[in-house]
Structure 1
Amino acid sequence: MALAQYLSKPRIEGPLWLNPVDIPFLRARLLKAETRLESLEAQISEVLDERALLRNVLAPVRRVPSEILSNIFEHSCTPGTSITDEIDFDVVRSTFVLARVCVAWRKTAHATPQLWSYLRLDLRRQPHLFKGDVSWVKEWLSRGRSLPLDLDLRFQWYHTLDKEDLAQGAAQMLESILDFRHRIRSCSIVGDLKLCLPLFRLPHSSLPELKEINLIHFSATDGLVQDARDFPSGIEAFLGAPKLRRVRISDLVMIPCWNCWRYPQSS
Protein backbone atom coordinates (compact mmCIF):
# COMPACT_ATOMS: atom_id res chain seq x y z
CA MET A 1 0.00 0.00 0.00
CA ALA A 2 1.33 3.46 -0.93
CA LEU A 3 2.17 5.94 1.78
CA ALA A 4 -0.59 8.32 0.60
CA GLN A 5 -3.14 5.58 1.13
CA TYR A 6 -1.95 5.04 4.71
CA LEU A 7 -2.26 8.75 5.50
CA SER A 8 -5.76 8.95 4.02
CA LYS A 9 -7.17 6.31 6.38
CA PRO A 10 -8.63 7.38 9.77
CA ARG A 11 -7.44 4.11 11.29
CA ILE A 12 -4.67 1.73 10.33
CA GLU A 13 -4.84 -1.94 11.21
CA GLY A 14 -2.13 -4.48 10.65
CA PRO A 15 1.60 -4.12 10.01
CA LEU A 16 3.15 -1.35 7.93
CA TRP A 17 5.93 -1.50 5.39
CA LEU A 18 7.72 1.80 4.94
CA ASN A 19 10.46 2.73 2.54
CA PRO A 20 13.61 4.27 4.06
CA VAL A 21 12.75 7.61 2.46
CA ASP A 22 9.27 7.60 4.03
CA ILE A 23 10.52 7.72 7.63
CA PRO A 24 12.14 11.21 7.55
CA PHE A 25 9.15 12.49 5.59
CA LEU A 26 6.73 11.23 8.26
CA ARG A 27 8.87 12.61 11.07
CA ALA A 28 8.80 16.04 9.44
CA ARG A 29 5.01 15.81 9.10
CA LEU A 30 4.75 14.80 12.77
CA LEU A 31 6.88 17.73 13.90
CA LYS A 32 4.75 20.09 11.82
CA ALA A 33 1.55 18.65 13.36
CA GLU A 34 2.92 18.97 16.90
CA THR A 35 3.96 22.58 16.27
CA ARG A 36 0.52 23.39 14.92
CA LEU A 37 -1.11 21.65 17.89
CA GLU A 38 0.95 23.67 20.37
CA SER A 39 -0.11 26.85 18.63
CA LEU A 40 -3.78 25.82 18.74
CA GLU A 41 -3.53 24.83 22.42
CA ALA A 42 -2.07 28.25 23.22
CA GLN A 43 -4.93 29.93 21.36
CA ILE A 44 -7.50 27.75 23.14
CA SER A 45 -5.94 28.56 26.50
CA GLU A 46 -6.05 32.26 25.70
CA VAL A 47 -9.72 32.05 24.70
CA LEU A 48 -10.57 30.07 27.84
CA ASP A 49 -8.86 32.69 30.00
CA GLU A 50 -10.76 35.45 28.25
CA ARG A 51 -14.05 33.58 28.72
CA ALA A 52 -13.33 33.06 32.43
CA LEU A 53 -12.49 36.75 32.85
CA LEU A 54 -15.67 37.87 31.10
CA ARG A 55 -17.80 35.50 33.18
CA ASN A 56 -16.06 36.77 36.29
CA VAL A 57 -16.79 40.39 35.38
CA LEU A 58 -20.42 39.61 34.53
CA ALA A 59 -21.07 37.51 37.66
CA PRO A 60 -23.93 39.08 39.67
CA VAL A 61 -21.99 38.65 42.93
CA ARG A 62 -19.43 41.14 41.61
CA ARG A 63 -22.06 43.85 41.81
CA VAL A 64 -22.90 43.11 45.45
CA PRO A 65 -21.44 45.79 47.77
CA SER A 66 -18.77 44.48 50.10
CA GLU A 67 -20.86 45.44 53.15
CA ILE A 68 -23.72 43.20 52.03
CA LEU A 69 -21.30 40.42 51.10
CA SER A 70 -19.81 40.64 54.59
CA ASN A 71 -23.27 40.27 56.11
CA ILE A 72 -23.94 37.23 53.93
CA PHE A 73 -20.66 35.69 55.03
CA GLU A 74 -21.40 36.38 58.67
CA HIS A 75 -24.82 34.74 58.37
CA SER A 76 -23.35 31.74 56.53
CA CYS A 77 -20.74 31.18 59.23
CA THR A 78 -23.18 31.29 62.14
CA PRO A 79 -24.64 28.04 63.51
CA GLY A 80 -28.39 27.51 63.41
CA THR A 81 -30.69 27.99 66.33
CA SER A 82 -31.34 24.30 67.03
CA ILE A 83 -29.08 22.19 69.22
CA THR A 84 -28.43 19.79 66.32
CA ASP A 85 -27.30 22.61 64.05
CA GLU A 86 -24.99 23.94 66.74
CA ILE A 87 -23.39 20.55 67.36
CA ASP A 88 -22.90 19.71 63.69
CA PHE A 89 -21.78 23.17 62.59
CA ASP A 90 -18.11 23.44 61.67
CA VAL A 91 -17.30 27.14 61.77
CA VAL A 92 -13.64 26.60 60.85
CA ARG A 93 -14.46 24.69 57.69
CA SER A 94 -17.29 27.03 56.67
CA THR A 95 -15.16 30.14 57.07
CA PHE A 96 -12.13 28.71 55.31
CA VAL A 97 -14.27 27.51 52.38
CA LEU A 98 -15.66 31.02 51.87
CA ALA A 99 -12.19 32.53 52.02
CA ARG A 100 -10.89 30.15 49.34
CA VAL A 101 -13.52 30.72 46.66
CA CYS A 102 -11.68 33.59 45.00
CA VAL A 103 -9.39 36.52 45.76
CA ALA A 104 -12.28 38.96 46.12
CA TRP A 105 -14.12 36.72 48.59
CA ARG A 106 -10.92 36.13 50.55
CA LYS A 107 -10.32 39.88 50.86
CA THR A 108 -13.90 40.45 51.97
CA ALA A 109 -13.77 37.60 54.46
CA HIS A 110 -10.46 38.77 55.93
CA ALA A 111 -11.89 42.29 56.22
CA THR A 112 -14.93 41.03 58.17
CA PRO A 113 -13.77 40.72 61.79
CA GLN A 114 -17.10 39.22 62.89
CA LEU A 115 -16.19 36.01 61.05
CA TRP A 116 -13.12 35.55 63.21
CA SER A 117 -14.48 36.55 66.61
CA TYR A 118 -16.05 33.15 67.29
CA LEU A 119 -14.05 29.92 67.41
CA ARG A 120 -15.41 26.44 67.98
CA LEU A 121 -13.02 23.49 68.16
CA ASP A 122 -13.94 19.86 68.71
CA LEU A 123 -11.23 17.33 69.47
CA ARG A 124 -13.42 14.37 68.49
CA ARG A 125 -14.87 15.79 65.29
CA GLN A 126 -11.85 17.80 64.11
CA PRO A 127 -8.70 15.94 65.21
CA HIS A 128 -6.87 17.14 62.08
CA LEU A 129 -6.97 20.71 63.41
CA PHE A 130 -4.94 19.70 66.45
CA LYS A 131 -2.14 17.99 64.53
CA GLY A 132 0.99 19.58 63.14
CA ASP A 133 1.26 23.34 62.84
CA VAL A 134 -1.50 25.09 64.81
CA SER A 135 -0.30 28.64 64.10
CA TRP A 136 -3.43 29.16 61.98
CA VAL A 137 -5.26 29.86 65.25
CA LYS A 138 -3.31 33.09 65.79
CA GLU A 139 -4.02 34.19 62.22
CA TRP A 140 -7.72 33.41 62.74
CA LEU A 141 -8.04 35.40 65.97
CA SER A 142 -5.91 38.30 64.69
CA ARG A 143 -8.46 38.92 61.95
CA GLY A 144 -11.07 39.50 64.66
CA ARG A 145 -9.23 42.73 65.46
CA SER A 146 -10.56 44.24 68.68
CA LEU A 147 -13.95 42.50 68.73
CA PRO A 148 -14.92 40.43 71.79
CA LEU A 149 -13.95 36.79 71.44
CA ASP A 150 -16.31 33.88 72.10
CA LEU A 151 -14.82 30.40 72.52
CA ASP A 152 -16.44 26.97 72.42
CA LEU A 153 -13.83 24.26 73.02
CA ARG A 154 -14.72 20.57 73.09
CA PHE A 155 -11.87 18.52 74.52
CA GLN A 156 -13.69 15.22 74.97
CA TRP A 157 -11.55 12.16 74.36
CA TYR A 158 -12.12 9.03 72.40
CA HIS A 159 -9.86 6.00 72.06
CA THR A 160 -7.05 6.90 69.70
CA LEU A 161 -3.40 6.11 69.18
CA ASP A 162 -2.71 9.82 68.63
CA LYS A 163 -3.81 10.91 72.10
CA GLU A 164 -0.43 12.30 73.16
CA ASP A 165 0.00 14.23 69.90
CA LEU A 166 -3.55 15.57 70.09
CA ALA A 167 -3.08 16.57 73.73
CA GLN A 168 0.08 18.47 72.83
CA GLY A 169 -1.69 20.15 69.92
CA ALA A 170 -4.63 21.14 72.14
CA ALA A 171 -2.30 22.66 74.75
CA GLN A 172 -0.38 24.61 72.10
CA MET A 173 -3.62 25.78 70.55
CA LEU A 174 -4.97 26.98 73.89
CA GLU A 175 -1.74 28.85 74.60
CA SER A 176 -2.10 30.61 71.24
CA ILE A 177 -5.71 31.48 72.06
CA LEU A 178 -4.68 32.90 75.44
CA ASP A 179 -2.44 35.41 73.67
CA PHE A 180 -5.80 37.10 72.95
CA ARG A 181 -7.16 36.67 76.47
CA HIS A 182 -7.82 40.41 76.81
CA ARG A 183 -10.61 39.95 74.22
CA ILE A 184 -12.28 36.79 75.59
CA ARG A 185 -15.92 37.55 76.38
CA SER A 186 -17.25 34.03 76.84
CA CYS A 187 -15.56 30.67 77.14
CA SER A 188 -17.15 27.23 77.20
CA ILE A 189 -14.91 24.19 77.64
CA VAL A 190 -16.26 20.65 77.77
CA GLY A 191 -14.01 17.64 78.24
CA ASP A 192 -10.72 16.82 79.91
CA LEU A 193 -9.91 20.02 81.75
CA LYS A 194 -6.30 19.04 82.29
CA LEU A 195 -5.77 20.16 78.71
CA CYS A 196 -6.75 23.63 79.92
CA LEU A 197 -3.94 24.06 82.45
CA PRO A 198 -2.56 27.10 80.54
CA LEU A 199 -5.88 28.82 81.25
CA PHE A 200 -5.94 27.87 84.91
CA ARG A 201 -2.40 29.15 85.45
CA LEU A 202 -3.25 32.68 84.34
CA PRO A 203 -2.62 35.30 86.99
CA HIS A 204 -5.18 37.59 88.58
CA SER A 205 -6.86 40.15 86.24
CA SER A 206 -5.93 38.29 83.05
CA LEU A 207 -9.47 38.28 81.61
CA PRO A 208 -10.78 41.86 81.75
CA GLU A 209 -13.60 41.30 79.22
CA LEU A 210 -14.79 37.91 80.48
CA LYS A 211 -18.55 37.81 81.09
CA GLU A 212 -19.31 34.10 81.07
CA ILE A 213 -17.31 30.93 81.79
CA ASN A 214 -18.67 27.40 81.42
CA LEU A 215 -16.42 24.47 82.39
CA ILE A 216 -17.62 20.88 82.26
CA HIS A 217 -15.03 18.32 83.25
CA PHE A 218 -15.62 15.02 81.53
CA SER A 219 -12.83 12.48 81.16
CA ALA A 220 -13.09 8.89 80.00
CA THR A 221 -11.73 6.15 82.23
CA ASP A 222 -8.44 6.31 80.38
CA GLY A 223 -8.38 10.12 80.38
CA LEU A 224 -5.56 12.35 81.50
CA VAL A 225 -7.16 13.62 84.71
CA GLN A 226 -7.24 11.23 87.63
CA ASP A 227 -8.01 13.40 90.66
CA ALA A 228 -8.10 16.99 91.83
CA ARG A 229 -4.36 16.98 92.44
CA ASP A 230 -3.91 17.23 88.67
CA PHE A 231 -5.13 20.83 88.93
CA PRO A 232 -3.13 23.69 90.44
CA SER A 233 -4.49 24.87 93.78
CA GLY A 234 -5.81 28.38 94.28
CA ILE A 235 -6.67 29.10 90.64
CA GLU A 236 -7.01 32.89 90.27
CA ALA A 237 -7.67 33.12 86.53
CA PHE A 238 -11.21 34.39 87.08
CA LEU A 239 -10.37 36.89 89.79
CA GLY A 240 -10.12 40.50 88.71
CA ALA A 241 -12.67 39.98 85.91
CA PRO A 242 -14.97 42.99 86.50
CA LYS A 243 -17.53 41.97 83.85
CA LEU A 244 -17.89 38.33 84.95
CA ARG A 245 -21.54 37.59 85.64
CA ARG A 246 -21.99 33.88 85.06
CA VAL A 247 -19.80 30.99 86.20
CA ARG A 248 -20.70 27.36 85.69
CA ILE A 249 -18.34 24.56 86.68
CA SER A 250 -19.54 20.96 86.48
CA ASP A 251 -17.68 17.76 87.28
CA LEU A 252 -19.22 14.71 85.66
CA VAL A 253 -16.74 12.19 87.07
CA MET A 254 -17.17 13.09 90.72
CA ILE A 255 -13.75 14.68 91.10
CA PRO A 256 -13.92 17.76 93.35
CA CYS A 257 -11.83 19.92 91.03
CA TRP A 258 -14.19 22.85 91.63
CA ASN A 259 -12.50 23.33 95.03
CA CYS A 260 -9.38 24.53 93.20
CA TRP A 261 -10.99 27.74 91.94
CA ARG A 262 -11.12 31.09 93.63
CA TYR A 263 -14.16 33.08 92.70
CA PRO A 264 -14.73 36.84 92.64
CA GLN A 265 -16.77 38.12 95.57
CA SER A 266 -20.11 39.65 94.72
CA SER A 267 -20.46 43.30 95.62
Structure 2
Amino acid sequence: MEHPGKIQSVENAFQIIEFIRDQGSANLTTIADEIGLSESTTHYHLSTLKSHNVVDKRGNQYHLGYQLLEYGGIVKSRTQLYTYAKPHMDRIAIETDLAVYLGIEDQREIVHIASISMEGTSIIGDHDGKRTEFHSAALGKAILAFLPEEEVQEILVDLDFPEFTDKTITNPDDLREYLDTVVDQGYAINDEEDFRGWKGIAVPILSRDGVEGAISVAGPKSKINNQQESIVQLLKESRDEIELNYNVEQ
Protein backbone atom coordinates (compact mmCIF):
# COMPACT_ATOMS: atom_id res chain seq x y z
CA MET A 1 0.00 0.00 0.00
CA GLU A 2 1.08 3.56 -0.72
CA HIS A 3 1.58 5.75 2.35
CA PRO A 4 0.32 9.36 2.27
CA GLY A 5 3.07 11.56 0.88
CA LYS A 6 5.32 8.58 0.10
CA ILE A 7 6.05 6.52 -3.01
CA GLN A 8 6.20 2.86 -2.06
CA SER A 9 8.67 1.88 -4.76
CA VAL A 10 11.11 4.50 -3.46
CA GLU A 11 10.53 3.27 0.10
CA ASN A 12 11.30 -0.27 -1.04
CA ALA A 13 14.50 0.87 -2.75
CA PHE A 14 15.72 2.57 0.42
CA GLN A 15 14.84 -0.49 2.51
CA ILE A 16 16.98 -2.56 0.15
CA ILE A 17 19.89 -0.10 0.42
CA GLU A 18 19.65 -0.01 4.21
CA PHE A 19 19.46 -3.80 4.48
CA ILE A 20 22.58 -4.22 2.33
CA ARG A 21 24.27 -1.51 4.42
CA ASP A 22 23.50 -3.38 7.65
CA GLN A 23 24.44 -6.82 6.29
CA GLY A 24 27.50 -5.82 4.30
CA SER A 25 26.25 -7.92 1.41
CA ALA A 26 23.26 -10.12 0.61
CA ASN A 27 21.87 -12.23 -2.22
CA LEU A 28 18.61 -11.70 -4.07
CA THR A 29 16.58 -14.27 -2.11
CA THR A 30 17.68 -12.93 1.28
CA ILE A 31 16.91 -9.34 0.28
CA ALA A 32 13.49 -10.25 -1.11
CA ASP A 33 12.57 -12.18 2.04
CA GLU A 34 13.69 -9.32 4.29
CA ILE A 35 11.86 -6.58 2.36
CA GLY A 36 8.76 -8.72 1.80
CA LEU A 37 8.75 -8.52 -1.99
CA SER A 38 8.80 -11.14 -4.70
CA GLU A 39 12.20 -12.01 -6.11
CA SER A 40 11.22 -10.64 -9.52
CA THR A 41 10.19 -7.25 -8.08
CA THR A 42 13.29 -7.15 -5.91
CA HIS A 43 15.42 -7.94 -8.95
CA TYR A 44 13.91 -4.96 -10.81
CA HIS A 45 14.79 -2.68 -7.90
CA LEU A 46 18.31 -4.06 -7.66
CA SER A 47 18.87 -3.78 -11.41
CA THR A 48 17.82 -0.15 -11.35
CA LEU A 49 20.03 0.62 -8.36
CA LYS A 50 22.92 -1.21 -10.02
CA SER A 51 22.51 0.80 -13.23
CA HIS A 52 23.12 3.95 -11.16
CA ASN A 53 26.03 2.35 -9.25
CA VAL A 54 24.11 2.65 -5.97
CA VAL A 55 24.57 -1.10 -5.52
CA ASP A 56 27.16 -3.42 -7.01
CA LYS A 57 26.91 -7.16 -7.71
CA ARG A 58 29.82 -9.51 -7.11
CA GLY A 59 28.96 -13.10 -7.87
CA ASN A 60 25.49 -13.54 -6.37
CA GLN A 61 26.05 -10.97 -3.63
CA TYR A 62 24.90 -7.35 -3.72
CA HIS A 63 27.02 -4.64 -2.05
CA LEU A 64 26.67 -0.88 -1.74
CA GLY A 65 28.06 0.94 -4.76
CA TYR A 66 30.67 3.68 -4.96
CA GLN A 67 28.13 6.24 -6.15
CA LEU A 68 27.05 6.57 -2.52
CA LEU A 69 30.63 7.49 -1.61
CA GLU A 70 30.52 10.32 -4.12
CA TYR A 71 27.21 11.58 -2.71
CA GLY A 72 28.64 11.53 0.81
CA GLY A 73 31.76 13.39 -0.26
CA ILE A 74 29.68 16.08 -1.94
CA VAL A 75 27.51 16.53 1.15
CA LYS A 76 30.60 16.89 3.35
CA SER A 77 32.41 19.29 1.01
CA ARG A 78 29.36 21.55 0.86
CA THR A 79 28.90 21.65 4.64
CA GLN A 80 30.00 25.04 5.94
CA LEU A 81 30.95 23.69 9.35
CA TYR A 82 33.34 21.20 7.76
CA THR A 83 34.93 23.92 5.62
CA TYR A 84 35.81 25.97 8.70
CA ALA A 85 36.76 23.02 10.88
CA LYS A 86 38.99 21.04 8.47
CA PRO A 87 42.22 23.12 8.89
CA HIS A 88 41.85 22.95 12.68
CA MET A 89 41.23 19.20 12.58
CA ASP A 90 44.43 18.72 10.60
CA ARG A 91 46.42 20.80 13.08
CA ILE A 92 44.97 19.06 16.14
CA ALA A 93 45.69 15.62 14.67
CA ILE A 94 49.32 16.56 13.99
CA GLU A 95 49.91 18.18 17.39
CA THR A 96 48.26 15.43 19.44
CA ASP A 97 48.94 12.40 17.21
CA LEU A 98 45.34 11.36 17.92
CA ALA A 99 42.18 10.86 15.88
CA VAL A 100 39.95 13.91 15.41
CA TYR A 101 36.22 13.90 14.70
CA LEU A 102 33.62 16.44 13.64
CA GLY A 103 30.02 15.58 14.49
CA ILE A 104 26.53 17.01 14.14
CA GLU A 105 23.04 16.08 15.34
CA ASP A 106 20.88 14.56 12.62
CA GLN A 107 17.56 12.79 13.04
CA ARG A 108 18.08 12.39 16.80
CA GLU A 109 21.51 10.82 16.34
CA ILE A 110 25.13 11.97 16.23
CA VAL A 111 26.74 11.73 12.79
CA HIS A 112 30.48 11.86 12.14
CA ILE A 113 30.66 14.16 9.13
CA ALA A 114 34.46 14.14 9.05
CA SER A 115 37.33 12.35 10.75
CA ILE A 116 41.10 12.19 10.66
CA SER A 117 42.68 8.89 11.62
CA MET A 118 46.14 8.52 13.09
CA GLU A 119 47.96 5.19 13.19
CA GLY A 120 47.07 3.24 16.31
CA THR A 121 44.56 5.79 17.56
CA SER A 122 41.38 4.99 15.64
CA ILE A 123 38.59 2.51 16.27
CA ILE A 124 38.19 -0.18 13.61
CA GLY A 125 35.00 0.56 11.69
CA ASP A 126 35.16 4.33 12.09
CA HIS A 127 34.10 6.17 8.96
CA ASP A 128 32.57 9.43 7.83
CA GLY A 129 28.81 9.14 8.15
CA LYS A 130 29.00 6.81 11.15
CA ARG A 131 26.14 7.33 13.60
CA THR A 132 26.76 7.13 17.32
CA GLU A 133 24.98 7.57 20.64
CA PHE A 134 24.29 10.73 22.64
CA HIS A 135 24.82 9.14 26.04
CA SER A 136 28.23 7.52 25.53
CA ALA A 137 30.15 9.52 22.92
CA ALA A 138 31.94 12.74 23.86
CA LEU A 139 30.59 14.35 20.68
CA GLY A 140 27.06 13.35 21.65
CA LYS A 141 27.24 14.74 25.17
CA ALA A 142 28.90 17.97 24.01
CA ILE A 143 26.08 18.59 21.53
CA LEU A 144 23.24 17.38 23.76
CA ALA A 145 24.29 19.73 26.59
CA PHE A 146 23.64 22.76 24.40
CA LEU A 147 20.46 21.75 22.56
CA PRO A 148 17.15 23.44 23.49
CA GLU A 149 15.53 21.89 26.56
CA GLU A 150 12.49 20.67 24.64
CA GLU A 151 14.72 18.82 22.17
CA VAL A 152 16.81 17.34 24.98
CA GLN A 153 13.66 15.96 26.61
CA GLU A 154 12.53 14.35 23.35
CA ILE A 155 15.94 12.76 22.78
CA LEU A 156 16.14 11.39 26.33
CA VAL A 157 12.67 9.84 26.00
CA ASP A 158 13.73 8.09 22.79
CA LEU A 159 17.15 6.94 24.04
CA ASP A 160 17.46 3.24 24.86
CA PHE A 161 20.73 3.83 26.77
CA PRO A 162 22.55 0.72 25.53
CA GLU A 163 25.36 -0.31 27.89
CA PHE A 164 28.61 -0.69 25.93
CA THR A 165 30.89 -1.02 28.98
CA ASP A 166 30.44 -0.91 32.74
CA LYS A 167 31.22 2.83 32.57
CA THR A 168 28.43 3.73 30.15
CA ILE A 169 25.82 6.14 31.52
CA THR A 170 22.54 4.19 31.43
CA ASN A 171 20.28 6.46 33.46
CA PRO A 172 18.68 9.69 32.15
CA ASP A 173 19.06 11.45 35.51
CA ASP A 174 22.78 10.65 35.59
CA LEU A 175 23.14 11.90 32.03
CA ARG A 176 21.32 15.14 32.84
CA GLU A 177 23.62 15.70 35.79
CA TYR A 178 26.65 15.19 33.58
CA LEU A 179 25.27 17.58 30.93
CA ASP A 180 25.29 20.33 33.59
CA THR A 181 28.98 19.58 34.12
CA VAL A 182 29.58 19.86 30.37
CA VAL A 183 27.95 23.29 30.31
CA ASP A 184 30.01 24.45 33.30
CA GLN A 185 33.40 23.25 32.04
CA GLY A 186 32.78 23.71 28.32
CA TYR A 187 33.73 20.20 27.21
CA ALA A 188 32.55 16.59 27.43
CA ILE A 189 34.47 13.38 28.11
CA ASN A 190 33.88 9.80 27.05
CA ASP A 191 35.92 7.80 29.55
CA GLU A 192 35.81 4.19 28.31
CA GLU A 193 32.04 4.47 27.83
CA ASP A 194 32.08 3.13 24.26
CA PHE A 195 35.19 0.95 24.36
CA ARG A 196 37.47 -0.25 27.13
CA GLY A 197 40.79 1.58 27.16
CA TRP A 198 39.46 4.35 24.92
CA LYS A 199 38.82 7.99 25.81
CA GLY A 200 37.47 11.04 24.00
CA ILE A 201 37.18 14.77 24.66
CA ALA A 202 34.79 17.03 22.75
CA VAL A 203 33.84 20.71 22.70
CA PRO A 204 30.60 22.09 21.23
CA ILE A 205 30.63 24.52 18.32
CA LEU A 206 28.02 27.23 18.82
CA SER A 207 26.49 29.89 16.58
CA ARG A 208 23.86 32.56 17.04
CA ASP A 209 21.27 29.89 16.25
CA GLY A 210 22.47 27.37 18.83
CA VAL A 211 24.78 24.36 18.74
CA GLU A 212 26.05 23.52 15.25
CA GLY A 213 28.09 20.45 16.15
CA ALA A 214 31.15 19.40 18.10
CA ILE A 215 34.80 18.57 17.53
CA SER A 216 36.60 15.84 19.45
CA VAL A 217 39.90 14.11 20.00
CA ALA A 218 39.88 10.39 20.80
CA GLY A 219 42.31 7.55 21.30
CA PRO A 220 43.92 5.27 23.87
CA LYS A 221 43.12 6.47 27.38
CA SER A 222 46.75 6.56 28.50
CA LYS A 223 47.69 8.76 25.56
CA ILE A 224 44.76 11.14 26.24
CA ASN A 225 45.54 11.36 29.96
CA ASN A 226 49.16 12.33 29.28
CA GLN A 227 48.06 15.47 27.43
CA GLN A 228 44.46 16.05 28.52
CA GLU A 229 44.93 19.65 29.64
CA SER A 230 46.65 20.67 26.42
CA ILE A 231 44.02 18.81 24.35
CA VAL A 232 41.20 20.70 26.03
CA GLN A 233 43.01 23.98 25.44
CA LEU A 234 43.70 23.13 21.81
CA LEU A 235 40.08 22.13 21.21
CA LYS A 236 38.76 25.31 22.81
CA GLU A 237 41.11 27.52 20.81
CA SER A 238 40.07 25.80 17.58
CA ARG A 239 36.41 26.01 18.59
CA ASP A 240 36.73 29.78 19.13
CA GLU A 241 38.20 30.33 15.66
CA ILE A 242 35.62 28.09 13.97
CA GLU A 243 32.78 29.91 15.75
CA LEU A 244 34.22 33.30 14.78
CA ASN A 245 34.35 32.41 11.10
CA TYR A 246 30.96 30.73 11.22
CA ASN A 247 29.21 33.67 12.86
CA VAL A 248 30.85 36.20 10.55
CA GLU A 249 29.37 34.39 7.56
CA GLN A 250 25.86 34.23 9.01
Q: Which has the higher contact order (CA 8 A, sep 6+)?
A: 2
Higher strand residue share: 2
TM-score, normalized by length of structure 1? 0.27
Larger radius of gyration: 1
